[in-house]
Structure 1
Amino acid sequence: MESRKSELEPVDPRTAQQLFLDHKETECTESTVRNHRYHTSEFVEWCEENDVDNLNDLTGRDLQALRLWRKESSDINLMTLNNYLCSLRVFIKWCGSVEAVPENLYDKVMRPRVSPDDQQAEETLRRDTRMLLTEQGIAPDSYLNRA
């Protein structure tokens, strides 16, 4: 384990976040980058609260603690937690690709099981929200993606 850790390059969470977002801006839509910014900002906040100043030190146990913190700090539903953890997993995988964390650490981001009913309810809510905004003469994408 020590030999693999020595291959990592030290980076603080905020710097990693900015590098990740810069990378995503070259290949993703503005709304996707905005979502990644929101989710990674929560990760950076957690790191600051837990004295994680070098991502090289991040472990699977830390990712579990982060998952619990995210769920408990805002009492979010499983779909929202799942979406957050999907975004976090993308970020951690990218961090592995630039030697900020062990390459396979992203595999340790455990997502909750979301029932098909919950997924369907989320999709229905999104569709209904878009329809209501359109009926009000509001462009759904610009409204839903506002900062």
Structure 2
Amino acid sequence: MTSGPKDLTPRAAWHRYLDSRRTELTEETASTYHYRLKLFGEWCEENGIETVDELNGWLLDQYESYRSGQGVAATTLHNEMETLKTFIEYLERIEAVEDGLAERVSVPHVPSDQRSRETKLSTEQALELIRYYRSDGTLYGSKRHALLETAWHTGARLGGLRALDLRDYDRDEQTIEFVHRPESNTVLKNKREGERVVALNERVCETISTFIQTNRHDKHDEHGRQPLFSSLQGRPKPGTLRVWMYRATFPCIATECPHGYDRETCEFRSHSKASQCPSSRAPHHVRTGSITWHCDRGVPREVTAERVNASQDVIDEYYDKSEERDRMEKRRRPHLNKLNIE
């Protein structure tokens, strides 16, 4: 007898849900949803939940408490539970769970002004990591080093980093180019409007060139293109690139663990648990920190906007995480000479 929707495992159910939405989601968004639901699916498996029919309000509340107890940011928890609620609504529609279960998913309220203050890779942590990578003979020019330094210097999105080909990097001109190539399955979020050439400084070029010469996998993707950040299989999936960034931003690479874990035995250092390290950061967090750094260093807003492909208004609202005192200083300092009374 053919099994019905109630017999779906959480893992099979979340894959089925994402497959049903492939035509309406960008690959980057689908990857984000996959990651959030993967966390839920793994929690179900660890807690002996074999089919979605077993889900109830108590279990959903337990999951929220579990994620909250891991110290995730309020915005992160809000987004994860919102995605979970949409997933449960899908399960209701296919009659895999009881009607009304989605209403029992608690989505923590986060004021809109706080949502814009999402977790970022701090400038202090980023520069400490990059300096360590540059000084360490073993890690210099590694995949993690090159990925972090490129992302921090350009403020690029995950999709933009994944879309880069070897040919998009020009050592002589010291540039890297982001190109929208939908015909071969690498799209930029803003499509043609997202295309741009970004200037690099000499030290970043040295890092990328060393990576290409010593550590890059010489692979082609299924379209015959050569990804800049390649895996043994070719062009990495968005989720793979995300894990690489989590691993690239482990604080214990450069310092002692700030959370008291032993580096040799810490479970977060494994591929599957990297995202659970309280101090590791996803590509979006690196982008947020990078744009803040650009602003703090006095790079004009219009220049930053062009480099990172975001409007000036969006940068102000969502990405520039400067403290209000710093914002005041940036506003008033250029005008102080106008106030001289001599």
Cα shift at 1:95: 1.1
Contact 1:8 1:102 in 2 (8 A): no
Partner of 2:107: 111
Question: What RMSD in Å do the two structures reach over aligned CA positions?
Answer: 2.6
Partner of 2:28: 31
Q: TM-score, normalised by structure 2?
A: 0.35
Cα shift at 1:8: 6.3
Partner of 1:19: 16
Partner of 2:7: 10
Q: Which structure shows the bigger proportion of residues in helix conformation?
A: 1
Cα shift at 1:120: 3.2
CA distances 1:15-53 after superposition (whole Å, capped 9, x unpaired): 111111211212211111101110111111111111111
Partner of 2:41: 44
CA 62–143 in structure 1, closer or farther in 2 if over 3 Å, else same = same
CA 20–135 in structure 1, closer or farther in 2 if over 3 Å, else same = closer
Structure 1 unaligned spans of 5+: 1-6, 126-132
Aligned length: 132
Is residue 144 of structure 2 the alignment partner of residue 142 of structure 1?
no
Which has the greater radius of gyration? 2
Q: The residue matched to 1:45 in structure 2 has which SS?
A: helix
CA distances 1:96-123 after superposition (whole Å, capped 9, x unpaired): 1111111321111111121343123239
- Show structure 1 runs of 4+ deviating over 6 A: none
1:46-65 equivalent positions in 2, closer than 5 A: 46-65=43-62
CA distances 1:71-130 after superposition (whole Å, capped 9, x unpaired): 11x31011110011011111111111111111321111111121343123239x6xxxxx
Q: Work out the percentage of aligned pairs sharing the same amino acid.
A: 29
Q: TM-score, normalised by structure 1?
A: 0.77
Contact 2:81 2:107 in 1 (8 A): yes
**Equivalent in 97, 117, 123 of residue 121 of structure 1:** 117
Cα shift at 1:135: 9.2
CA 138–65 in structure 1, closer or farther in 2 if over 3 Å, else same = closer
Contact 2:92 2:98 in 1 (8 A): yes
Contact 2:151 2:161 in 1 (8 A): no
